[in-house]
Chains A and B, each alone.
Chain A
Amino acid sequence: MVDLWQGLSQAFWLVITADAELVEIAMRSLRITLSALVLACLIAMPLAALLAIRRFRFRRTVIAVLNTLMGLPPVVVGLMVYVLLSRSGPLGALGLLFTPTAMIMAQMIIIVPLIASIAHQSLRDLWHDYHDLLISMNVSQTQKVATLLWDARRALLTAALAGFGRGIGEVGAIMIVGGNIDNVTRVLTTAIALETGKGQFALALALGFVLIALALAVNLAIHGLSRTERDGRW
């Protein structure tokens, strides 16, 4: 309990004094997760829309695989990306291991299935409503996808926020591919793991509270910008 209070007060002071190291780590966490999120959304959302509107042979299998991959263990993803990017791996020549880019790749792989699965549920329901109308209007496949993505944007925001939550709190994969190198790949979660290992529970807790506050701030900002609570207007 004492650690908890110490952690809270330390978090408070770290934020109030705008501790340089904390700001750098927090900004790196945000940069990496938001980059992974944007890339993941660019892949996952059109994929979800296509799965909703197109009928092809292994569609159900693809959906089942995506749903299964939502529970993909981050450590396994980290290991796979590590093998790909290690010097003897197929992408070793790119020299990306232990860089923020490798961390973005790992996070992206983890959150694409999550965003695609949640988005697919919403888009499938919307497609059920829109199917006849869009067919009767002779709308092209690309226009159908664009219409679904635009009209389901609020549900897709939830999918994106779920992806953000999973990404910002992720530690296993990015620890393996990032290496938790000070000033290079250290982010909030890996810093928490490090401080916990050193027995600095108060500092670890402080970082944890900052992480939660950061996630909350991003969620509120996105909701605010997208005006989710304004009724009667789209």
Chain B
Amino acid sequence: MVNGLFPLSVKGALTRRRGKVLVGPVDLELDGQGTCVVLGPNGAGKTTLLRMLHGIARLHQGRIDWACDTAIARNAQAFVFQQPVMLRRSVVENLAYPLRMHGVPRREAMERARDWAGRVGLGEEMLERSATVLSGGEKQKLALTRALIQEPELVFLDEPSSSLDGRATREIEEILTTCSAAGTRLIMSTHDMGQARRLADTVVFLLNGSVHEAAPAEVFFAGPKTPEAQAFLNGDIVE
């Protein structure tokens, strides 16, 4: 897949809520390959950074420039939330929903939904069940598949396995690895350092709403430049 969204250039981007700066000013340049993992302690602004880049959080200052028009860029992205949001519909209808909203005929959307469900291991017996009664792992897998079914060029993932057990986490990571290998760019936040080491090609370290360090994963994990990032990697409390 040729990724037409990148390079992404973020200059002085800042977002506020009720006058308080949540994230920013952020300066960042990202190219169009692999998985970018956003790391940082609680409250560093990881979720808000992802939301700001995707356009859910309002940009109050600065610029976010994609390689293409912003409206086109938005349509080529998907977002997976930390707490998966399930539409009050069946599993297969949840999967078909984004396709239907973008003009795919119902029959084709349902066929593609069934096909994708099979690919990620959402069994046939599960498809007609209400999505709201699934387990946490199944919900997250469904949310991820619903994001991927649109065949986006970029997927934002906000701590996609934060409340999942090891098996469910592994299943999610396998899907992410497959997608990344197919050329889909992933930008994800995580608290799980093991997951970051397994998946990251690039690391962005965030602290107090600012980017402290952005580097290739092997460089970052071998020896971060800033003492805060080093402390974070050591498991120390960073504020």
Contacts and interface: CB of A to CB of B under 8 A. Distances in A.
Contacts of A234: 88-90, 93, 130
A94 interface: no
Contacts of B74: 138
Nearest to A147: B87
Interface stretch (B77-85, B168-176, B179-187, B223-231): B77-85
B61 interface: no
Interface string A129-160: 11011011111100100010001100000000
- Size category of the binding interface on chain B: 20 to 34
A232 interface: yes
Contacts of B79: 132-133, 136
Interface residues of A, number: 19
A55 interface: no
Interface string B38-57: 00000000000001001110
A132 B101 contact: no
B106 interface: no
Given A132-B81, A234-B130, A138 B90 contact: no
Contact of B129 (A130, A138, A139, A232): A232
A233 interface: yes
A233 B90 CA distance: 7
Given A136-B78, A232-B129, 9 more contacts: A130-B85, A132-B85, A135-B55, A137-B97, A137-B101, A137-B150, A139-B101, A232-B130, A234-B88
Interface of A: 126, 129-130, 132-133, 135-140, 143, 147, 151-152, 231-234
